[in-house]
Amino acid sequence: MERQDNRKATELRPIKITPGYITHPEGSVLIEMGQTKVICNASIEDRVPPFMRGQGKGWITAEYAMLPRATEQRNIRESSKGKVSGRTMEIQRLIGRALRSVVDLSKIGERTIWIDCDVIQADGGTRTASITGAYVAMVMALHQLVEKKVIKELPVIDFLAAISVGVLSDGQEVLDLNYQEDSTAAVDMNIVMTGKGEFVELQGTGEEATFNAQQLQAMLSLGEKGIHTLISQQKDTLGSITDLVH
């Protein structure tokens, strides 16, 4: 059975990663996965948050937001509401945690890497696209520190990408759900995986539904393939920096 946008169950949407999209940040990309578009900027700050001070280690933290009209219906700005939603906080925590898992924080000194993921257009999968794009922006920013001889070597120990998989309401397991699929799916799972194929995060949710062990395996298998393709794309974007990741 074909999907609404003619993709196969195992097929990703077209991916495009544009490096250097914004001028000021130390690392910046625009990542596009189909109609989903996220600006991922990485900024270096020469200090760490209070709870990390004096340990000689660095920190990575992320913020995520959507433009009000990234979506079909306009959303109220979180700055106008005066608070950040639970969904936003979950995503921010996820992005930061994922990126920290592939960086040796003891090698960047007492510095914070701020990751800003701003969704300018949304069509499902914004949190996984954010992680995949943010990884590239972060590596670019860290590489700049190497270039400037602030740190000796790139402290990135593996590649990292994220993708969504799910079970549609008809029981079909699919890769990379767009908004329409996501909003009607029975099960939704986000997988964050390294270049070596190890899990960093696994978040599966039955949306007023449940899933069994067999469906779990089918989803994990789809996800693994998607991650593989995404990491190829990251390597293309990073070019010669790719070899410094180890």
Return binding residues for phosphate. Answer: 87, 125-127
Q: Of how many residues is the chain composed?
A: 246
Residue 105, SS3? helix
| Member of 95, 161, 211, 245 binding its own copies (CB under 8 A) | 211
What single DSSP character describes residue 76?
P
CB atoms within 10 A of CB 109: 16
**What is the CB-side half-sphere exposure of residue 115 using CA atoms within 13 A?**
33
| Member of 204, 225, 228, 242 binding its own copies (CB under 8 A) | 204
Residue 121 or 229 with smaller CB distance to its own copies: 121
Packing angle between helix 126-147 and helix 213-238, nearest 10 degrees? 40
| Member of 10, 55, 205, 232 binding its own copies (CB under 8 A) | 205
Does the footprint of its own copies cover residue 54 (CB under 8 A)?
no
Residue 109 or 206 with smaller CB distance to its own copies: 206
Does the footprint of its own copies cover residue 189 (CB under 8 A)?
yes
Residue 9 or 120 with smaller CB distance to its own copies: 120
Stretch that binds its own copies, among 88-96, 127-135, 144-152, 225-233 (CB under 8 A): 88-96
Are 141 and 27 within 8 A, CB to CB? yes
Sign of CA dihedral 43, 55, 155, 223: negative
CB atoms within 10 A of CB 64: 27
Burial 225-243 (b: 16+ CB within 10 A, else e): ebbebbbebbbebbeebee
Smallest separation (angstroms) from its own copies to the CB of 114? 6
| Member of 48, 95, 114, 154 binding its own copies (CB under 8 A) | 114
Does the footprint of its own copies cover residue 235 (CB under 8 A)?
no
| Member of 18, 43, 172, 229 binding its own copies (CB under 8 A) | 43
Does the footprint of its own copies cover residue 194 (CB under 8 A)?
yes
Does the footprint of its own copies cover residue 132 (CB under 8 A)?
no
| Member of 20, 49, 56, 197 binding its own copies (CB under 8 A) | 197
